[in-house]
Each structure stands twice: as C-alpha cells, then as structure tokens.
Chain A
Amino acid sequence: MNNRLKVLRAERNWSQAELAERLDVSRQAVNAIETGKHDPSLPLAFRIARLFALSIEEIFDDGHR
C-alpha cells in the first residue's frame, strides 16, 4: 500500500524518531510503514491521520481509487 507519510513528515521537518515519539511506536515502525514493508493496523492508521489532521484516505492509497 502506498502512503504519503514520508512527505508529510518532511513537510513538518520531523525526523523518523520524532514522528515515532508522537505516535508512540518505535523508529523502526515508522521506517517500515514509510517504505511500505508494513501496513499499519486501523487504530494506528487513525492515530496517524489524527496527528496530521487528514483522513486516512488522504495518507494511504490502496490503488483502487
């Protein structure tokens, strides 16, 4: 699944560690989501969406739109 997490993070000038801290996950978790190695669970996707004040669909794209 594609996502805009890396771009959104960079727009706020956050490092992976800073984003991980805000989401209460490990830095490796942020890296795994950004690189598409792992798709987040629904609760984590909601936390990400709330953090960036966007909808889940504006961050994640499953290629079916």
Chain B
Amino acid sequence: MTDIAETKKPLGTVGVALRLGGGFFLAIFGAGIAAGVIAAWREHGEFRTGVVIGLGLAALALVGGGWLIFSARGTLALPRSPQVRRSRIALYASLGISTVIGVAAGFAWQMQVSHADPAHGIANMFSATPLSLPLTLTVLAAWIVTVALSLYWHTTLDEIERAEYEFGAMAGLYAFVTVAPAWWLAWRGGLLPEPNGVAICLMVCIVWCVGWGWRRWR
C-alpha cells in the first residue's frame, strides 16, 4: 500500500493536552511565585536579590506557560466547516461555562463544609447531609446547563464522533443495569450498604468515558 505522509501534520490530542496542561501549570506556578515574592517583599519592605530572582523566575514561568498555550492555537482554532464549527463552539462554551460554575460551586461548597465539618470536606460531597439553599440552586443550575449544552453538542457531532459516544453510552447503560440492581439486591440480602445513587452515576459516567475513549483511540 502506498504510504502517503500528511501535508500538514496536525498536533495530536496528547500533544495538545500536554501543551495546554503544561502551559496552565507553568502559568499558575509563575503566578504563585509572583504572589509569594510580592507578599514577602511587602511584609519585609526590602528589595533584595531574592525578590529580583523570584520575579525573574515568575516571569520566565509565565512566558513559558503563555508560549505553550499559544503554540496549541492552530489545533484549537475554529474550523470553517459549519457543522464542525458549531460543535467546537458548543464544546468551548460548555467548557467555559462549566469551569466558571464549577469554581463558584467549589468555593461555595468549601465555605459550607469548612463551617460544618472541616475535617471531612471531600467525604461530604457524596453524603446525604443537607445542603444550603444557595449551594443547592448553584449546583442544580450547573447540572442543568451542562446537560443542556451536552444535548446541543450531541446534535452537532458528525456520524463518526456520534458512533463513538453512542458506544460509550451503551457501555454505560449496561454498567448501570448490571450494578444498580445487583447493589440493591446485595443490600436487601445484607451483603452491602445501602446503594448510593451518586456513586452509581459517577461509575456510569466513568464507564461511558472509558468506552468512548476506547472506541476513539483503539
């Protein structure tokens, strides 16, 4: 078979993930150094060599992080074909909105658990303890917006991408109809604790993602 090289080799998924992950890590790292150095400078009031070195390191990390993120711009740019463009816009909007709502909900959650039970903040996420009304409404809004965006996104996918997601969804459905009744029966038989809906939902989502990923990169 004839081996034909790509005329323009696009950046692979792993390459984009590494550049974006590395870029954001360096940017946050640089911002952290800068914040620490400036705080120490304000506290001690002396402009010493350490401050210069620290700010230089922070600048290097910020520039390096910015360059890494900028280098992935070609892959992240919006394509011109209408359907793929709509799909990409929906994906970026979903990521942006869910990040903003997620950070807001995370702060609200931490503020609530730090007052209620500081030692078990993460465990409280999966427990059945009562939540405050503002936090409940925030997380509910986040969930509804995310699902609505996800539904719209699915309508913009091409047939190959849709087949990948549907394979993952089928794997998730089989996981659900296996685990949920089995756990319920095991609970009735005294073998396991009471079924946890959130844990089952998370498990289904993980199986869905694994199924989708296997189908995409097999």
Residues in A lying within 8 Å of B, measured CB to CB = 6-7, 9-10, 13-17, 20-29, 32-33, 37-38, 40-41, 44
Name the one of B6, B81, B82, B218 contacting A20, with C-beta atoms under 8 angstroms: B81
B83: Cβ under 8 A from any A Cβ: yes
Task: Tell me, rounded to whole Å, the shortest Cβ–Cβ distance linking B82 to chain A.
Answer: 6
Name the one of B7, B80, B81, B159 contacting A15, with C-beta atoms under 8 angstroms: B7
Q: A14–B84 contact, CB under 8 A?
A: no
B188: Cβ under 8 A from any A Cβ: no
B4: Cβ under 8 A from any A Cβ: yes
Inter-chain CA distance A38–B2, complex, in Å, is 20
Inter-chain CA distance A40–B158, complex, in Å, is 10
Q: B84–A20 contact, CB under 8 A?
A: yes
Name the one of A9, A24, A37, A41 contacting B81, with C-beta atoms under 8 angstroms: A24
Q: Is the interface of B mostly helix, strand, loop or mixed?
A: loop
Inter-chain CA distance A10–B158, complex, in Å, is 23
Q: B7–A25 contact, CB under 8 A?
A: no
Q: A21–B158 contact, CB under 8 A?
A: no
Q: B159–A26 contact, CB under 8 A?
A: no
Residues in A with CB closer than 8 Å to B216 are 28
Number of A-B contacts (CB under 8 A): 61
Inter-chain CA distance A13–B84, complex, in Å, is 22
Residues in A with CB closer than 8 Å to B79 are 17, 20-21, 26
Inter-chain CA distance A9–B2, complex, in Å, is 12
Residues in B with CB closer than 8 Å to A15 are 6-8, 10
Residues in B with CB closer than 8 Å to A44 are 159
Q: B158–A25 contact, CB under 8 A?
A: yes
- Which residue among B80, B82, B87 has the maximum number of chain A CB atoms within 10 Å of its CB? B80
Residues in A with CB closer than 8 Å to B159 are 25, 29, 40-41, 44
Task: Tell me, rounded to whole Å, the shortest Cβ–Cβ distance linking A6 to chain B.
Answer: 6
Cβ-closest 8 pairs across A and B? A29-B160, A25-B158, A10-B4, A24-B81, A15-B8, A21-B81, A15-B7, A32-B160
